[in-house]
Structures are given as C-alpha cells and as structure tokens.
Amino acid sequence: MKTTETALLPADPSSPPGRTRIMNSMVRLLEIREFNRITTAEIARDAEVTEGLIYKYFRDKKDLLFQVLMELFRQVIDKIAGEVAAVDGSHEKLRAFIRASVAGYAGSRVFSKIILLEVRNSPSFFASNAYGLVRQYSKMLAQILQEGIDSGELASDIEIRALREIIFGAIEHACLSCIIFNREIDVDRVAGQLCRVLFCGITRPGKEDNQGRKP
C-alpha cells in the first residue's frame, strides 16, 4: 500500500512515468524514516513497480537519493534566485538570499534531511551531479558578496570565502535542530536574527570592545 497518493516532485514530461513514481516514493518514504532503513523492495512496493525497474533508471539506492536531491535542490535554488532578483542592493539581496535559504529548509523536510543529514558523510556525494548544485548555490552567494564589495556597500577587506562559510554554517546550524527533532522553523525569526548579527555584529552600539574599538 502506498504511503500517500501525493506527487511530491514536479511532473517532467521527459521523464518516464516509472522513474517519476520511484522518485516520488523515495520522497514519501524519507518523510517517515531514515534513508538507511528504506529498502529497494519497499520503494518498489510503494511505487507499484518491480525492483528491476529501479535499477533500470538508477545505479543503486544512493544514486536514487542523489537524483531526488537534485530535483528538490533545483526547486530551492530557483526560489532563492527569484527572491534575490526581485530586490536591489547587496544588503537586500543578501537578506533575500538568507531568508529564502531558511525558507527552503523549512519548506521541504525531505530536502533538509538529505542535504543536512544523509549525504554529508558520503564521499560519492562530492563526486555526484547533485554536488554541482551545491557549487551553484555557493556561487550565487559569492556573487552577491563580490557585487557588494565592488559597489562599496560591503567592506573591501572581507574574505569572501570565509564570510560565505560563516553564512552557510549559520543558516545550517540555525535549522539543524528543528530538522532533527521535527520542529517548525520560524523563518522570519531565524532569518532576522542571522541578518541582524551579520549586518550589525554582536557589540552593543556605542560600546567599545576590549581593544578600544567601536563597531
């Protein structure tokens, strides 16, 4: 019996129906259990296909996971790009990027589970096409930061790579506990706090730090 009848990935006319059913079954099953506890027999049963059909379209179960991640990640990246393109100025683009990234984690628990919990320790992930989308996502942020430096909106002495890692790390850690413990992510609160610290720092306005410097 299927876990649900809902199609969770967008219809792709170029994709064979069996392949689409298999991918949607993986998404449905990931909503209720960990990847390592899902079997190909269970996927086939939920998708109402043979196990052999799974191996026709995917090398193995992990390849199926990566393909699902690619589809979900494309949706997230498209939404982020749309939000960023809708505003002007590096500060507003950075705010839009951060908020849309948090919203991406909040909007798809399966995407969040895969990218934050399932693939990070898999060497094959870093050689997969799915990892190419991580690079695209990272490049989008780097471009916003570089444009901000070039326009004079952001400090010229910042190291883009370091700041990019700080931003990504903050977004992921702010969302991680909610994903692990299945709690709702308050997108506005999380994104607002991250942006406040990023743009204003943690030193109280007018207060010198221990080296006599003011923010």
Domains in the chain with CATH codes: 17-57 (1.10.10), 61-200 (1.10.357.10)
* pTM to 2 decimal places: 0.88
Is residue 15 pLDDT above 90, yes or no?
no
**8 Å CB contact between 178 and 185:** yes
Round the CA-based radius of gyration of the chain to a whole number and report it. 20
In this prediction, residue 1 has a pLDDT band, given cuts at 50, 70 and 90, of: very low
In this prediction, residue 11 has a pLDDT band, given cuts at 50, 70 and 90, of: low
Phi first, then psi, for residue 13 (nearest 5°) are -60, -25
Residue in 66, 28, 30, 62 with CA at minimum distance from that of residue 47: 28
pLDDT tens-digit readout, 19-70: 999 999 999 999 999 999 999 999 999 999 999 999 999 999 999 999 999 9
Is residue 3 pLDDT above 50, yes or no?
no
Distance CA 23, CA 47 (A): 8
